[in-house]
Structure 1
Amino acid sequence: MVALMPKESHQFEKLSRDYRPLLLSLARKLSSRGSVEPEDLVQETLARALQEFDKLASASDAARRGWLCTTLTNRFFDLYRQRRAEQEQLPGLRLVQSEAVSPEEGLEEKWGEFSSEQFRAAVGRLKPKHREAYELHAQGLRYREIAQKLGVPTGTVGAWISEARRELRGLLTEADQGRRS
């Protein structure tokens, strides 16, 4: 968290008051279709402004205005792309969910046949990004937390974990068939 001196704190409050109407107007225009909450965009923009306040404090009014509007617009596009990616992943996630709810004939019994070592070996053979996302999820992190940790959109994390499960299913099925031969 950024700690401001009393004078800087007063300056930041003034900056927030002065630019909030402009930012809220821009956020409402960008969010007109309801995909992103305007108030959230403004709050996130002001939070970033607080982190960069040492630079913004000495900038001209035009430079501050440009930085704030650009930051808000970029954040909007980030959130829009993230939500679009999540929506695109929904059919695949529903498929994974339906497979988990109604497993294929005999698949449930097969999973119990693999030792922890075999499972860890299969996880070790996953593609690096898939493995990292899968392991973080297995540790109990939520998709959003994993996304922040890896610096990628939440939808990407969902896709990677889904692909990791698919790869694991293939690797373990392959191992099972190798055992039977």
Structure 2
Amino acid sequence: MAARGGATMDEGQHRQFDEFTRARRPVLLKVARRLCAGGTIDPEDLVQETLERAYRHFDKLAGENAGAVSVWLSTTLSNRFLDHCRRRRTEVLGAPALRVVQGDMTGEPVPLEQWEQVSRDDFQKAIDQLRPPHLREAYKLHASGLRYRAIAQQLSAPEGTVGRWLSEARQALRELLAPDRSSREGTVES
């Protein structure tokens, strides 16, 4: 997986990031659980999104002192939480009415969102194409409802590694299902 700026992480950097994740994940999860208490946002997903951002910026974070890293992680976690809250508010309050208004004003049917156009078969084919196999397995287990910890135990891998695999799997699926790819090829390859 490429780090920010296009440089790829070597195996040693991946191990270093896994250690970084193991050391900081429990504190982040504790904060996320407090933020998400009583709501519909999953604290583990919030932590994972924060760690995905840390992964993309790891080249810079690795050189910072522990205090600066903690502040960066806390700020990122809080911002992700606020983004989720804003998105949910917009979805609940605006999206249904907006679609109705758009359709009524133009007289045209409202186009489907990009991901609403992907068929179940194309999505399953894309999942089956995920390589290496541990990406596919981690994604399928997460999609079945397992949490990171359970996936880590089942695949005998650290939770941080599972998070990285899921991030890589999501990115690969975005690429496999991108509209420009399907229009060039007609469909997702099998």
Letter in 2 for 1:56: L
- Could you tell me how far 1:46 is from its partner in structure 2? 0.6
TM-score (norm 2): 0.50
Alignment equivalent of 1:9, drawn from 14, 20, 23: 14
Does the CA contact (< 8 Å) of 1:35 and 1:80 recur in 2?
Answer: no
- Could you tell me how far 1:92 is from its partner in structure 2? 1.7
Q: Do structure 1's residue 82 and structure 2's residue 87 form an aligned pair? A: yes
> Which residue does 2:49 correspond to in 1?
44
Q: Do structure 1's residue 63 and structure 2's residue 68 form an aligned pair? A: yes
Alignment equivalent of 1:92, drawn from 85, 97, 103: 97
**Cα distance in structure 1, aligned partners of 2:96 and 2:16:** 48
Determine what percentage of the aligned residue pairs are the same residue: 43
> Which residue does 1:141 correspond to in 2?
114
- Could you tell me how far 1:93 is from its partner in structure 2? 5.6
Q: Which runs of 5+ in 1 are unaligned?
A: 104-110, 112-118, 120-133, 144-181
> Which residue does 1:34 correspond to in 2?
39
**Cα distance in structure 2, aligned partners of 1:77 and 1:4:** 30
Letter in 1 for 2:114: L
**Cα distance in structure 1, aligned partners of 2:39 and 2:25:** 20
Provide closer, same or farther for how the CA distance between residues 12 and 92 of structure 1 changes in structure 2, counting only shifts above 3 A.
Answer: same
- Could you tell me how far 1:78 is from its partner in structure 2? 0.4
Structure with the higher fraction of residues in helix conformation: 1
> Which residue does 2:135 correspond to in 1?
none
**Cα distance in structure 1, aligned partners of 2:50 and 2:63:** 18
- Could you tell me how far 1:91 is from its partner in structure 2? 5.7
Quick check: which has more Rg, 1 or 2? 1
Matched position secondary structure for 2:86: helix
RCO comparison, higher one (Cα < 8 Å, 6+): 2
TM-score (norm 1): 0.52
Matched position secondary structure for 2:114: coil
Matched position secondary structure for 1:35: coil
Letter in 2 for 1:61: A
Q: Which runs of 5+ in 2 are unaligned?
A: 3-7, 117-190
